[in-house]
A and B are shown apart, each in its own frame.
Chain A
Amino acid sequence: MMGFSFRRFGAVLYKEFIQMRRDRITFGMMIGLPIIQLFLFGFAINSDPRNLPTLVEVNDNGPLTRAVIAGMQNSSYFDFKGAVEGAGGGEEALRRGDANFVVVIPRDFERNVMRGDRPEVLVAADASDPSATGGAVAALSGIVTVAISETLSGPLANAPGGAAPFSMVVHREYNPEGRTSTNIVPGLLAIILSMTMVMITAIAIVKETERGTMEMLIATPVKPLEVMLGKILPYVFVGYVQTIVFLLAARLVFGVPFEGSVWAFYLGFNLFVVVNLALGFLISTAASSQMQAMQLSFFTILPSILLSGFMFPFAGMPGWAQAIGQAVPATHFLRIVRKVMLKGGDVSDVTGELWALAAILLVISVIAMLRYRQTLD
């Protein structure tokens, strides 16, 4: 048995670069698409939406009512579109989607407040999309309380029942303005890397089998390891380019900070890239055509988006789903990126995630190697 030949490895690598350069569309997909996605999603996704269309049903015309409405309007969550008459009008508007909220000010609202009768202000929210209305609902009671206490002054200042016995102070750490892009942009790096790395590696390898060139390759003295490394390394390079572009854009366009240790990021990033390449390689051993490779890759992408904590909070999922999420490489890279970029973490903060990635890598590689031996014969 002869050992690893750097000349043959280099020849495969060189060939792969030529092919990559000739395949304009894939090349564009690798570099252009991530940038477009970053800008599109970075600007478009907002988990704390404002200016939601709101209607009001006013049954009391006092200054207190006007204060409540003005307070809601000023919070920027609510955008008053007009008034409705009677209960049926509000319901109809919600159902048609003309408004996300209908605020009902009850009859004799002001008088009842003065008396300390604790009247009820009904806010009907369209909760068919909870995340659209959640932020506004959460802010609502504070807004109303403040509006009322500012209006009632002098002897009536304490009329509504006085101040609460304690006060809550919430600090929004690591993202004080609560901007979605600060959360989304680092997460997108994990998603885009897993998308391109897994899919492109899988396709690049399956392409050789599908076009019959693999048969020619293995008829030459070239070793499987030389082929694999030669084919995969160019895509590691692509991953580096994507990440650099990404980090620059995150910093310059979205103002996402990079607080933590570059070394910790670099370590996590490289490990994540290798895990994805191994996953792509594993897929290539199962797929017999580029189409299948593409479809199988898509199966890995959806959990990366939905179960990794990128889209929805990880802690909010049931235990079994969290267990699946733990097996998704993007989950751990996402945590590394957020810890390092936003929370200023260093290597010791991300050791757990690094080990998790290493464990995933080990499992994937073992399965891939076992399968690859079979497919050679």
Chain B
Amino acid sequence: MSAELVIDVRGLTKDFGPKRVVDHFDIAVPKGAIYGFLGPNGSGKTTTIRMLCGLLTPDAGEGTCLGFDVLKQADQIKERVGYMTQKFSYYEDLSIRENLDFVARMYGLDRRRERVDRALADLGLADRSRQLAGSLSGGWKQRLALAACLLHEPQLLLLDEPTAGVDPKARRDFWDEIRRLSALGVTVLVSTHYMDEAVQCDFITYIAYGKKLIDGPSGKIPEMVGLETWRVSGPDLAVLAERLAREPGVEQVARFGTVLHVSGTDKAALAATVERLKAEGTHQWSLQVAGLEEAFIYLMAGARDNFAPGTQARIAS
């Protein structure tokens, strides 16, 4: 095992019945990194995370998580990984303190009371510790879940869509906490649907239908996607967007406030279309560097390979 890599797996594969949910997935996560895990619903993100933390045994593949074999040493991995499930998975009919205390016992932690007290204080729930977890709002449940999976001070955090259904303020606070942990050397693998969260990650991997489509440092993703983007401003953008979607070379039209971002991977075809429209003189056109946003809209909508091949360009707003 490399000292740098916290997760280093190759060829992870999992079948549920006849369906291949994860297909030869490789990932190498360096220590202390925030690794974003993106992909549409049902793409195999949750299954991959479950395999990494020892909840599921891969059907094929090899590799290590925190230096332990993902196939054979699930027990050791479980002790050192903090896993936050997509759905709130603590006991709604137990109080906040009882939940934390239960988790601490599961990990056989010493100084249990002290740890639970500290976690409650960090959460800011010390005076509400007797409240039932089920009566907490979504944001508080999420904070409780994070506190619970941090109790045993894991070196690796696996977060499965941790901010789904949480308000923006709570999401920001949550990410502040993730970055603070990352600075302390905790490695974080987080799956998300939100673009603003994806851009906060150091690395990004994109998975669709069990296959990895792209993987790299977040700054290099647009380049890797190979998208060229033109920015258009002017009147009647909605009409223009409709029209653009049918033009050759245009694969994606995304609206950002009062401008359209028109993107495509075939640079020549796109440039030809733009030249033609520019000549009409109704709108202002400028070539710009494709950002993560365009890349993600492209990837997120990238079901072109899977859903219906050969569909026309999409309009995102």
Q: Do A and B bind each other?
A: yes
Contacts of A11 in B (CB 8 A): 102, 105-106
Checking A1, A7, A18 against B108 with a beta-carbon cut-off of 8 angstroms, the contacting residue is: A7
Chain A interface residue number, banded = 20 to 34
Q: Which of A5, A7, A219 contacts B83 (CB 8 A)?
A: A219
Is A252 interfacial (CB 8 A cutoff)? no
Query: A220–B99 Cα gap in the complex (Å)?
Result: 13
Could you tell me if A15 and B107 are in contact, using CB atoms closer than 8 angstroms?
Answer: no
A216 to B87, CA, bound (A): 10
Query: Would you list which residues of chain B between 69 and 118 have a CB under 8 Å from chain A?
Result: 75, 78-79, 81, 83, 85, 87-94, 98, 102-103, 105-108
Q: Which A residue's beta carbon lies closest to that of B105?
A: A11
Proximity bits, A342-377, B CB within 8 Å = 1, else 0: 000000000000000000000000000000000001
A295 interface residue (CB < 8 Å to B):
no
Given A211-B92, A213-B91, A215-B85, are A221 and B108 neighbors across the interface (CB < 8 Å)?
Answer: yes
Q: Which of A23, A217, A377 contacts B106 (CB 8 A)?
A: A217
Which residue of the partner chain, among A5, A19, A212, A221, contacts B78 with CB atoms under 8 Å? A221
| B53: Cβ under 8 A from any A Cβ | yes
Q: Chain B residue with minimal CB distance to A227?
A: B106
CB of A324 within 8 Å of the partner chain: no
Closest to B80 in A: A221
Q: Is the CB of B87 within 8 A of A212?
A: yes
Is B29 part of the binding interface, using a Cβ–Cβ cutoff of 8 Å? no
Inter-chain contacts of A15 with B (CB < 8 A): 91, 94, 98, 102
| Contacts A5-B108, A8-B105, A15-B98 given; does A219 touch B93 at CB 8 Å | no
Number of B residues near A (Cβ < 8 Å) is 26
Residue of B57, B75, B94, B98 touching A221 (CB-CB under 8 A): B75
Q: Which residue of B lies closest to A8 (CB)?
A: B106
CB distance from A376 to the nearest CB of B (A): 8
Question: Which residues of A have CB within 8 Å of B90?
Answer: 213, 216
A222 at the B interface (CB under 8 A): yes
Q: Are B78 and A219 in contact (CB under 8 A)?
A: yes
Is A22 at the interface (CB under 8 A from chain B)? Answer: yes
Across the interface, do A212 and B88 meet the contact criterion of CB distance under 8 Å? Answer: yes
- Interface positions, chain A 8-64, Cβ under 8 Å from B, are 8, 10-11, 15, 18-19, 22-23
A211 to B107, alpha carbons, bound, how many Å? 21
Interface string of A147-182 (1 = CB under 8 A from B): 000000000000000000000000000000000000
A213 to chain B, nearest CB (A): 5
Please provide the 9 A-B residue pairs with the shortest distance between their CB atoms, ordered closest to farther: A11-B105, A216-B89, A220-B106, A212-B89, A219-B83, A212-B87, A22-B93, A221-B79, A221-B78
Residues on A facing B (Cβ under 8 Å)? 1-2, 5, 7-8, 10-11, 15, 18-19, 22-23, 211-213, 215-222, 377
Question: What are 23 A-B contacts defined by CB distance under 8 Å?
Answer: A2-B75, A7-B105, A8-B106, A8-B108, A10-B105, A15-B94, A19-B91, A22-B93, A211-B89, A211-B91, A211-B92, A212-B88, A212-B89, A213-B89, A213-B91, A215-B85, A215-B87, A219-B78, A219-B83, A220-B78, A220-B103, A221-B75, A222-B106
Residues of B within 8 A of A (CB): 53-57, 75, 78-79, 81, 83, 85, 87-94, 98, 102-103, 105-108
